[in-house]
Amino acid sequence: MGNNDSSVETFLQWIKASDNIVFFGGAGVSTESGIPDFRSVDGLYNQKYDYPPETILSHTFYRKHPQEFYRFYRDKMLCLDAEPNITHYKLAELEKAGKLKGVVTQNIDGLHQKAGSKNVMELHGSVLRNYCERCLQFVSAEEILHSTDVPKCPKCGGPVKPDVVLYEEGLNQKTLEDAIYYISHADVLIVGGTSLAYIRRQAHRLLQRKQACAYQQVHHTDGRKSRPSDTAGTGLCI
């Protein structure tokens, strides 16, 4: 109990002392909002479909089987009724207070912006943006949700593609460069809601080079990792 309390107190001291914080988050940030992650027991990777989700969400599958792609996409990827949770709101508060400089997210749900965050780097794009591949006409997520078969552009009739990074596709170079810049210049980097061991290792190395930087894993006394809503007073965990 004492060790956990000490870790949380140290974490809160880092937050209080820094005005150059960056948050790096993954799917676990939005599970409190009812959006499933990928690798948990109830995650997308453990559900049964004719094809594995990682196959469906690939560029090759999108090109070869657009009907099947959109059937899965509408059913599992469009969570338009989801609302931000305490983590999203606390991050927005920190940004408004001038302490948080940016949010780097792997999520595609737009909940950080919905909570009020302004400087959000979406590594994997967003379901809220969809464009005609022929004329680049914008198509809303609501139009995609209520479409049938493969969505068509209302302007030219061309195929519409979500502005999300599928497997086999590269990240947006500008977004990636911005994320690297903010992470490498942060005094405090908070990593939450992601199981990417590589990202954690790289974040740790970056933070070791910075003065007054921090990398701390918060645990409950029973061994459970903290969920965003469990971290006292902040809604943040790393």
Instruction: Look up 124 and say whether it is catalytic.
Output: yes
In this structure, is the dihedral angle defined by the CA atoms of residues 44, 46, 47 and 51, taken in order, positive or negative? positive
Residue (of 188, 173, 58) closest to 121 by Cα position:
173
Nearest to 30 by CA among 111, 103, 94: 111
* Both tokens assigned to 51: 């094809």
Strand 120-122, strand 125-132: pairing: unpaired
Rounded Cα distance between 199 and 231, Å, is: 22
Tokens 């002392």, residue?
A: 17
**234 close to 92: Cβ distance less than 8 angstroms:** no
H helix or E strand, kind and range, residue 130: strand 125-132
**59, 88, 124, 220: which is the annotated catalytic residue?**
124
d(CA 130, CA 162): 4
DSSP code of residue 19: S
Q: State how far the Cα of 196 lies from the Cα of 82, in Å rounded to an integer.
A: 24
User: What's the DSSP call for residue 28?
Assistant: G
Burial of 3 (0-12, 13-18, 19+ CB in 10 A): exposed
> Which are the catalytic amino acids?
124
